[in-house]
Amino acid sequence: TVFSAIHEYFRGRGFWEVHPPMITPAGSEGGATLFEMDYFGQKAYLTQSWQLYAEALALAMEKVYYIGPSFRAEKSRTTRHLTEYWHAEMEQAWAGMDEVIKHAEGVISHACQRVAEERPREVEALGRTPDFLRAVKPPFDRMRYDDALKFLRSKGMEIEWGKDLRTLEERSLTEGKSKPVVVTHYPQVSQAFYKRRDPEDPKYVLAFDVIAGDDVGEVVGGSERETDLEVLTKSLRDQGDDPEAYDWYLDTRRYGNVQHAGFGMGVERLIQWICKLSHIRDAIPFPRTPSRFSP
């Protein structure tokens, strides 16, 4: 039902479904969490995101989306991490951060409404009421990263500026809320090279996370994309990557570009939150974790 709802949401708003490669020459967020493989004598990787391809396609097709597997070589033994998971990603030309936040809220809400309508008995058996899901409607509460830190520090939590929010902090931000929370304007120092700097204050990027309660955490991560070729190239070098590995991607800036934005959503995490599951492994039939790749 959740997968069907995601397709329905995007198709109903003029998005084209596309199918990118699973084997890539470089990652979208650096090499630390990539599964490396030998591709006929050349170094290649299992995809962690199709975003770079989505950006290229969005410049030609305007609105694109995809649901497919992504791979992360993270040794994270938690209740919300998988090494292989289903990724719903979208990209839209002529769009900014605010517009894609609305899409993130919209697709989450649409999935909740569909599950409440079609699977009320199943979610009730899992401890989630259909009425709870019906109430998940836009807009979600929104706050900037700095405001989130102020709130958390008022609760006695010490958080270094520029660091990602941890499970404990995410739990505090969503405590007592029936809908996810949107955190925006993260510090540039902790973010991937492709995220656009805020023109009003370049210390921050026009990026956001949608954070769900029940210890599920980040369900959606997105941003407006950097369009300046020089800024992109410098950011790649600053994070230790060779710009030549991304030459085809940088060509999209060299030969014509427009403002664009997009996001990625972990489908199993959304299912985990909708169904109030204590562990993400229960959101997929054959989960893959650092300690499990069989059956």
Q: With 60 as the cut, is the pLDDT of residue 162 above it?
A: yes
Residue 141 vs residues 161, 177, 283: alpha-carbon distances, Å: 22, 9, 26
Mean local confidence (pLDDT), 135-146: 98
Q: Do the Cβ atoms of 183 and 165 come closer than 8 Å?
A: yes
Q: Cβ atoms within 10 A of the Cβ of 197, count?
A: 19
The set of residues, in sequence order, having a beta carbon less than 8 Å from that of 52 and lying 6+ positions away, is 28, 194, 246, 249
Longest dimension (CA), the chain: 55
The pair phi, psi for residue 116, each rounded to 5°, is -60, -35
- Of the CATH numbers 3.30.1700.10, 3.40.640.10, 3.30.930.10, 3.40.718.10, which one belongs to the domain with range 2-283? 3.30.930.10
Integer Cα distance of 180 and 273 in angstroms: 10
DSSP type of residue 127? T
* Band of residue 225 on the pLDDT scale cut at 50, 70, 90: very high
pLDDT at 32: 61
**pLDDT by residue (tens digit) across 64-93?**
999 999 999 988 889 999 999 999 999 999
Q: Do the Cβ atoms of 59 and 265 come closer than 8 Å?
A: no
**pLDDT by residue (tens digit) across 15-58?**
999 999 999 987 766 556 899 999 999 999 999 999 999 999 99
Mean local confidence (pLDDT), 166-188: 96
Indicate the pTM of the whole model: 0.95
pLDDT at 31: 54
Q: Where are the domains of the chain?
A: 2-283
Paired tokens of 157 = 């939590």
Average per-residue pLDDT for the chain: 95
Helices marked H in 12-64: 51-61
β-strands 16-17, 63-71 pairing: parallel
Paired tokens of 230 = 């020089």
DSSP type of residue 187? B
Q: With 80 as the cut, is the pLDDT of residue 198 above it?
A: yes
